[in-house]
């Protein structure tokens, strides 16, 4: 059950179901302007959002937005499995189809129950602010559910008269997180397929820390920079960076059919399963006779990697910037894409290497401190 820290029986309060910060920031601002006599409480309830790191990213941004606006917030349950059960048979429905109607009803029904529990007199939803949603359908569904629970439903149009443009401007000024898909796994997959991309949000890389192993986790980590800057009252600018994102999906190194524990570094590209031979070792580096494959012994790298053991490297992964720096140190004359494999100890002879990876262009937001002295030091 949701933890309900509020009881609004002593004041007339409107519960506002919140889907994301971009919609809610404008929506709540409009509510406060148009209904100055009303009190509002936010309710973040979106079990449709997948994966969990994406859910957490949106929740944290909504918490930040509500704090900026002085609006109390209730966090709903993340009952993803229950939501998925109800979506069975609707997986292939288009945007604004039956699956979306089910999703609206699911969240609005729960919002009405929470409104009852907290003694709110009515409820509404920031889904009304989204240009991707049918406003008339939401008005109708909201009113029907409100009547079922003896509540009022507050219909408000924040899109007309340039509302969407104002919403985008407010989101930019507040440096809000602008997600690039609605939320559910089905919409995500269809959107990525239409763009001839794979859903990297649903895949975790094998060689990076959990805090950045998939795109939502990486975005969440980057947004911590914004949080730190704001806590320190430091001005900053937000920018977007276009990156070539590498995802290690699977890797296997074998010798005579026996697997050899190994750490495969980012941007190791191998088009197919390859049989090769280590030609020689020199200063802890082994050179193979195919695809420019390089092997590195762990022990000489221990201090550089800041890992106590090879097992720790395999378990925790290695930060992306460390992997990129290592690749550049090994070959500084071009972007080196041959496989780089870290081993606990050297071996000689023939081996077989398989690497499944994916490269895809993605956009990531970044936050740059204003007037920072010497942000880059060139030596």
Radius of gyration over every alpha carbon of the chain, rounded to an integer in angstroms: 25
Which tens digit of pLDDT belongs to each residue from 216-237? 999 999 999 999 999 999 999 9
- pTM of the complete model: 0.90
**Has 182 been labeled as part of a binding site?**
no
Instruction: Break the chain into its structural domains and give their ranges.
Output: 13-197, 244-369
- Confidence class for position 9, pLDDT limits 50, 70, 90: confident
Which tens digit of pLDDT belongs to each residue from 32-46? 999 999 999 999 999
**Has 66 been labeled as part of a binding site?**
no
Q: What is the mean pLDDT of residues 278-285?
A: 95
- Confidence class for position 372, pLDDT limits 50, 70, 90: low
Residues above pLDDT 90, as percent of the chain? 88
The CA angle 59-364-77, to the nearest 5 degrees, is: 15
Which tens digit of pLDDT belongs to each residue from 337-353? 999 999 999 999 999 99
Cα separation of 111 and 113, whole Å? Answer: 5
In this structure, the dihedral spanned by the alpha carbons of residues 15, 19, 25 and 30, taken in order and rounded to 10 degrees, is: -50
Q: Which strand ranges, in their side-by-side order, compose the sheet holding 122-125?
A: 73-75, 39-44, 13-18, 122-125, 152-153
Look at residue 11 in the predicted model and tell me its pLDDT: 84
Look at residue 1 in the predicted model and tell me its pLDDT: 46
Q: What is the mean pLDDT of residues 2-29?
A: 88
Q: What is the mean pLDDT of residues 81-93?
A: 96
- The class (CATH top level) of 13-197 is alpha beta
Q: What is the mean pLDDT of residues 91-101?
A: 91
**Has 100 been labeled as part of a binding site?**
yes
Given a cut of 80, whether residue 133 has pLDDT beyond it is no
Query: What does pLDDT average to over the chain?
Result: 93
Look at residue 51 in the predicted model and tell me its pLDDT: 95
**Has 103 been labeled as part of a binding site?**
yes
- DSSP string for 64-123: HHHHHHT--EEE----HHHHHHHTTT-TTPPTTSHHHHHHHHHHHHHHHHHHHHTT-SEE
Q: What is the mean pLDDT of residues 107-129?
A: 95
Which tens digit of pLDDT belongs to each residue from 231-280? 999 999 999 999 999 999 999 999 999 999 999 999 999 999 999 999 99
Lowest mean pLDDT among 168-177, 266-275, 350-359: 168-177
């Amino acid at each position: 059950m949701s933890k309900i820290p509020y009881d609004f029986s002593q004041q007339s309060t409107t519960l506002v179901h919140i889907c994301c910060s971009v919609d809610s920031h404008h929506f709540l601002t409009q509510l406060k302007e148009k209904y100055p006599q009303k009190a509002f409480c936010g309710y973040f309830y979106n079990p449709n959002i997948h994966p969990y790191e994406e859910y957490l990213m949106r929740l944290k941004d909504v918490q930040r937005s509500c704090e900026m606006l002085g609006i109390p917030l209730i966090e709903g349950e993340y009952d993803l499995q229950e939501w998925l059960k109800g979506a069975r048979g609707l997986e292939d429905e288009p945007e604004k189809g039956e699956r979306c109607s089910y999703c609206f009803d699911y969240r609005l029904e729960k919002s009405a129950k929470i409104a009852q529990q907290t003694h709110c007199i009515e409820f509404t939803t920031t889904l009304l602010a989204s240009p991707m949603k049918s406003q008339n359908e939401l008005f109708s569904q909201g009113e029907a559910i409100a009547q079922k629970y003896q509540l009022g439903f507050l219909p408000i149009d924040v899109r007309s008269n340039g509302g969407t443009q104002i919403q985008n401007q407010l989101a930019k000024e507040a440096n809000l997180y602008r997600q690039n898909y609605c939320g559910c796994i089905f919409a995500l997959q269809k959107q990525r397929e239409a763009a001839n991309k794979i859903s990297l949000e649903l895949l975790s890389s094998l060689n990076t820390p959990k805090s950045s192993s998939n795109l939502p986790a990486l975005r969440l980590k980057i947004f911590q920079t914004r949080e730190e800057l704001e806590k320190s009252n430091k001005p900053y600018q937000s920018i977007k960076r276009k990156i070539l994102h590498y995802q290690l999906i699977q890797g296997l190194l074998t010798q005579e059919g026996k697997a050899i524990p190994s750490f495969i570094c980012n941007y190791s590209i191998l088009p197919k399963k390859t049989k090769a031979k280590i030609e020689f070792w020199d200063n802890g580096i082994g050179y193979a006779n195919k695809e420019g494959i390089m092997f590195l012994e762990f022990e000489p790298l221990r201090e550089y990697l800041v890992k106590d053991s090879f097992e720790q490297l395999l378990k925790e992964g290695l930060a992306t910037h460390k992997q990129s720096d290592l690749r550049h140190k090994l070959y500084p004359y071009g972007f080196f894409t041959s496989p780089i494999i870290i081993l606990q100890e050297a071996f000689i002879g023939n081996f077989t290497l398989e690497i499944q990876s994916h490269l895809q262009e993605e956009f990531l937001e970044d936050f740059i401190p204003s007037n920072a002295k010497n942000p880059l030091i060139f030596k």
